[in-house]
Structure 1
Amino acid sequence: MRITYFWRSVAKTINKKSYFFVNLIVASILIICLYFLASYGDFEIQDIFLKMSTVREEDDSADKFIKAEDNRNKGIKTILLWNTLFGSKDFYFGEGDIFRDCPINKCKIFNERDYLNVEDYDAILFHGNELSKYDVPLKREMKQFYVYVNLESPANRAIPYKYYEDYFNLTMTYRLDSDIPWTYNIIEDVKSGNFVAPSRDIDWNASRNYTSVEKAVDEMPSTILDIVRGKSKLVTWFVSNCYAKSGRMEYVQELSKHIGVDIYGRCGTSSCNRSRDCFGDVIEPNYFFYLSFENSFCDDYVTEKLMNPLRYNVVPVVYGGANYSQFAPPNSYVNALDFESPKELAAYLKYLSQDLRRYQSFLEWKKYYRVNGATKRAVCTLCEVLHKQKEPKMYSTLSDWYAKDKCPIQTHLNDVNKYATKITLMNRK
């Protein structure tokens, strides 16, 4: 039995090997035939594949060109989002027809690079903080608009490559002198809904009929008065970046020696779950003041740190490098840089919290203005600029425009002067 089993196994092995060798021989013959056919025949096989590939590419390119021409004939400007904005593929612009309600709305936006030939987009938006010189378009038409997008201050996110000089045609940043200003929020007239701020050419005309603190308070809605009377705590601050270049943490540490400051977030001992409306549930009903302290002192750099508290019945205390009169209504905030020391600021905040009529006057602006999101306005301005500006200009030194001498207060901070005050501003002059 064992002998029989052995010979059967040998036979199976021989059959398997024979099958393998036969297949190997057949494959070798086919390869040799194809080689000679390709080398000495009337045509070359590699040319066939090359031509097939070329035809497909030409057809694809022609199809994209036709789509681009169709948009041009309809007067539609096409915009490509080259990279992401902090991971958001739509730059937080939203989905669908984002230009639908704009005064000039003939624009389309894409985040797929190959929807059109890259040189056929009317404009390409590049988020500066996520842009690499190794990942840029390989083709470019001179009529295209390359738009530099950035919402971070140059003190924190400098332009890293000289490669980008003589590269961009338009700017879309938080700066008010951008071609397309994209601020964190805007202020509108309550009655008309018209845009008011932020603006270099500001007009707070709606609030000029202020008469006196007493009248302003007498006209205050009862709901706001009830909220103010229910407040019992002085100052609060939500912060997670504990080592900002503006020296804000050092300022608050000194301020805390003279007035109570409750710090929420990674840098403090208090917390508020992100699923809650922390401003509505915690800050507005309990606190008189919120610290709207920026992480750097740069021109026009005003973020949600100011705009968030302005939406609620709480008075923000600002600390930054902007001209705040261009961003928020008169008598709507307290500026820390109006005081020579944190101790002096603390004394003023205590006074306001004890004089409710004076404190309530800081909320009177809400009868005339409201805070709204700024992204829609920026999107509409983008479309408008692309239609109105016929020839692309060029930022020959974008790094100078964005960063050079744009954070002057910042340069005065050091190991000795760790934070800024009114004295810092006086020394600059």
Structure 2
Amino acid sequence: MAGMDLELNLTSRRFMLVLLLLIIYVLVYIRNGPTDVTFSKPSHWHEGRTTFTPKHHNDWIIPLFDSLRDELEMRILNATDMKIILVWIPMFGMKPVHEIDAKKCGSCEVTYDREKIDDERTGAVVFHFDGIGPKNMTPTRNLSQLYIYWDLESTANLRSSRGDTLEFEDNFQFNATMTYRRDSDFYQSYEHKYGVTRIIEENTLTLEELLAMKTKHSVTFVSNCRANARARFRMKMLEHIIRLGFKLEGFGACFWGSGKFANGNSRDEPEFYAEVRKYKFHFSFENSYHCKDYITEKFFNNALRSFTVPVVWGATREDYEAVAPPGSFIFVEDFDSVEALADYLNYLDKNDTAYLEYLKWLTMKPRDMPHYGRARHWCSICRALHGINIDDIYSPKYNKTNPIRPLFTDGVATRTVEHLKDWYYGEDNPECFSKY
């Protein structure tokens, strides 16, 4: 009997603990959860799907790239002298291996070995923002080396963690940036190693075969629930659409009790993409609002790489159009309410012809994609160390009649960042810091 009483006591305590946790969750939800979610209707809004308008000026970039292709290939072929890219401060302490394709980028090595700071082959030194400080910089400054400021966090999150002034960074006088912004000196898109062009080139499935695989409606992955106002608003939208009875499956830390997605396989594994491919829509909502060019792996990898239509919120429509395959996404702010968005997605779910319009980009030529031919991050740094600056033409700031440097130079072209604070904060959208 004593054993039975003890077991009942333990069971009762467990029940009370679960009940207490449930009450806390409900109280938090009532405090933070929405009773309604509406959007301020933008001036370009209209019913249904918007017409895609290219914003990536391929009309002149690709002909220019084609005219320079022979010289580019010759320069890369002759870029055989080994150049070193020294990562002085790694991203959050991680030190993955970065291999550079000499046939596309020239001969370079990425290293974390600080003893190579004085190696005559070291042409670039890279500093990730989270470790920058007086005690963690190079002992001396070699003016012949590119000192590159590296950041993939949104401008709003950067400002929260580093402050309003970026005073130390500005005083250190970095002469190049590597970020997700298209006007960075070195562009590091969240496409990473698996870009849109590669997706098209490797795809062997027809649109009809892809449609046959889609047995589920919508999915999203969110782990940052309430870290900032934008993350909280994101959760309000997702929770609201679920309460409408919309068939959205949520995974990640913000969807307690959903279980493991794809048997716990990460997005580095084929099983993850195969599982996402079963869904028609992927809700690719960012934790920042209208921060310039901030479009993450939620869009590029989770959605596009899985041949799933992204439903997007975070960046501006113009920013999405500048990097997305033509006609590939559904922009949340085109609808005046969550209900209108849900109605449209349900319409597409029942209309195969209309739905497949969003996957037609898979049948296009790679050269019709934004940023076709543009080298990114380590590859573009390597090119610059060999005097190859052709990737400048893809920057929104590139002036083809009066460029700031030649596209091909003997040695490393001079680069400067006058004021890092002005470039980051002053040139971003005001609502990046104030909205929600």
- Shorter-chain TM-score range: 0.5 to 0.7
Aligned residue runs from structure 1 range 212-223, under 5 A: 220-223=206-209
Match of 1:153 in 2: 154
Aligned residue runs from structure 1 range 308-319, under 5 A: 308=301, 309-319=303-313
> Does the CA-based 8 Å contact 1:143-1:392 persist in structure 2?
no
- CA spacing shift, 1:131–1:80, aligned 2, 3 Å: same
Task: Tell me the SS of whatever aligns to 1:136.
Answer: coil
Deviations 1:388-418 (A, max 9, x none): 264533323102212235143334534xxxx
Taking the aligned partners of 1:294 and 1:328, their CA distance within structure 2 comes to 15
Taking the aligned partners of 1:225 and 1:281, their CA distance within structure 2 comes to 13
Aligned residues between the structures = 308
- CA spacing shift, 1:283–1:143, aligned 2, 3 Å: closer
Q: Which has the higher relative contact order, 1 or 2, with Cα contacts under 8 A spaced 6 or more apart?
A: 2
- CA spacing shift, 1:302–1:157, aligned 2, 3 Å: same
Match of 1:225 in 2: 211
- The alpha carbon displacement at 1:110 in A equals 2.3
**1:164 paired residue among 169, 176, 185:** 169
Q: Can you give the 5+ residue segments of structure 2 that lack an aligned partner in the other structure?
A: 1-78, 388-408
> Does the CA-based 8 Å contact 2:384-2:413 persist in structure 1?
no
Match of 1:290 in 2: 282
> Does the CA-based 8 Å contact 1:99-1:379 persist in structure 2?
no
> Does the CA-based 8 Å contact 2:207-2:360 persist in structure 1?
no
> Does the CA-based 8 Å contact 1:189-1:368 persist in structure 2?
no
Taking the aligned partners of 1:141 and 1:120, their CA distance within structure 2 comes to 12
> Does the CA-based 8 Å contact 2:98-2:110 persist in structure 1?
no
Aligned residue runs from structure 1 range 316-327, under 5 A: 316-322=310-316, 323-327=319-323
- The alpha carbon displacement at 1:222 in A equals 3.8
> Does the CA-based 8 Å contact 1:155-1:407 persist in structure 2?
no
> Does the CA-based 8 Å contact 1:89-1:111 persist in structure 2?
yes
CA RMSD of aligned residues (A): 3.1
**1:80 paired residue among 80, 86, 100:** 86
Query: Is residue 239 from structure 1 mapped to residue 239 from structure 2 by the alignment?
Result: no
Q: Which has the larger radius of gyration?
A: 1
Deviations 1:13-57 (A, max 9, x none): xxxxxxxxxxxxxxxxxxxxxxxxxxxxxxxxxxxxxxxxxxxxx
- The alpha carbon displacement at 1:326 in A equals 1.1
Taking the aligned partners of 1:171 and 1:341, their CA distance within structure 2 comes to 38
Match of 1:140 in 2: 141
Match of 1:187 in 2: 196
Aligned residue runs from structure 1 range 25-424, under 5 A: 75-90=81-96, 93-94=98-99, 98-103=100-105, 105-117=106-118, 121-158=122-159, 159-160=162-163, 161-166=166-171, 167-185=173-191, 186-188=195-197, 220-228=206-214, 231=215, 233-243=216-226, 244-246=228-230, 247-258=233-244, 259-268=246-255, 269-271=257-259, 272=261, 273-275=263-265, 277=270, 279-285=272-278, 287-297=279-289, 298-308=291-301, 309-322=303-316, 323-368=319-364, 377-388=376-387, 390-414=412-436
- The alpha carbon displacement at 1:238 in A equals 0.9
Q: More deviation in 269-278 or 258-267?
A: 269-278
> Does the CA-based 8 Å contact 2:181-2:292 persist in structure 1?
yes
Deviations 1:170-213 (A, max 9, x none): 111111001110101132277889xxxxxxxxxxxxxxxxxxxx
- The alpha carbon displacement at 1:132 in A equals 2.1
Taking the aligned partners of 1:190 and 1:262, their CA distance within structure 2 comes to 25
- The alpha carbon displacement at 1:278 in A equals 5.8
- The alpha carbon displacement at 1:263 in A equals 1.0
- CA spacing shift, 1:180–1:220, aligned 2, 3 Å: same
> Does the CA-based 8 Å contact 1:174-1:184 persist in structure 2?
yes
Taking the aligned partners of 1:366 and 1:319, their CA distance within structure 2 comes to 22
- The alpha carbon displacement at 1:100 in A equals 2.4
Taking the aligned partners of 2:200 and 2:311, their CA distance within structure 1 comes to 27
- CA spacing shift, 1:334–1:279, aligned 2, 3 Å: farther
> Does the CA-based 8 Å contact 2:223-2:254 persist in structure 1?
yes
Percentage identity across paired residues of the two chains = 31
Deviations 1:53-90 (A, max 9, x none): xxxxxxxxxxxxxxxxxxxx984433211021122224
Task: Tell me the SS of whatever aligns to 1:155.
Answer: helix
> Does the CA-based 8 Å contact 1:227-1:284 persist in structure 2?
yes
Task: Give, as a single letter, the amino acid of the residue that structure 1 aligns with 2:280.
Answer: F
Task: Give, as a single letter, the amino acid of the residue that structure 1 aligns with 2:420.
Answer: L
Dislocated runs of 4+, deviation >4 Å: 189-193, 276-279, 369-372
